[in-house]
Structure 1
Amino acid sequence: MVEAEPKTKIESGIGFRISRLARNMRSQWAQNLSELDISPPQAAILRTVVEEDEVGIGIREIARRLGADPMNVKRTTDTLEDRGLISAATASKGQRKRILLTQSGIALARQVEEKVQAQEEEFRRVLTLEQRKILIDSIIALEEHFGISNE
């Protein structure tokens, strides 16, 4: 890999470079998901719920895992429920609702996962294993520094 000198002062900033890359990746991801008629937040929720199989998961836990606002997660799950992709069930009196995927939701989550795997394959083509490890370690260090956590 050839290291190119930044052409401008702004391009020499790590924050700028990360932000520009993230914007580009979000835009491409949204475009890929548009083929499935789903938004990135909806896809993230489906990907989170599918991990919980038959037990389901609460809104607050989804929000915590995604680093998202619980009210935004609630609005997005309402949309997914209206589309018949998830169901919200209360296991017993006094418990919070648990979100489960419907059969349609499971099928769509599989399609989303195929797109995730295609994106990951692109990363593997561009970055060596060592570069990916360094990138992940660097991201973790920055997240820890800025107090971004899944806990």
Structure 2
Amino acid sequence: MMRKLFRLGVVLTAAAAAVLGAGQPATAAPTLRVSVSGAQLAPGGLQVVLSGRYVCGPFAPGSDGVVDLTVVQAGTTGYGYLFVTVCDGSAQNWSAPVDSVGGPFVRGRAEVTGSGYACDRGPAGGCVSTRFGPTLIRIR
């Protein structure tokens, strides 16, 4: 008797799955995370090229965003932009120039901060934002 009830349960479960479908797979909540792992001094010192990784999305294809970058070293400040072009939820390498607006950068310690956003260009819409820093970096 128990065996027949068990089989009936299996059959009913399979029939319900066939009629109703297996459901939607779970998706991760959209995010925008940025990390900085390197800073290279450009010739002349008026620019630092930052590098690191970011994760954006998951969003629809064609989604994008931007992160404003600020580097401060003693009395020198510089600004740049990271253009976020891949928002499929996977980690992406990036590099972006930061231009000085107050004299040359030199090799050594500095701080970087950033803030920005990315938007889903698909039918779901919506945007996410990020903010990080100050993060200590070493300009090489």
What TM-score bracket applies, with the shorter chain setting the length?
under 0.3
Q: Report which of the two has the higher share of helix.
A: 1
TM-score (norm 1): 0.20
Which structure has the larger Rg? 2
TM-score (norm 2): 0.21
Q: Report which of the two has the higher share of strand.
A: 2
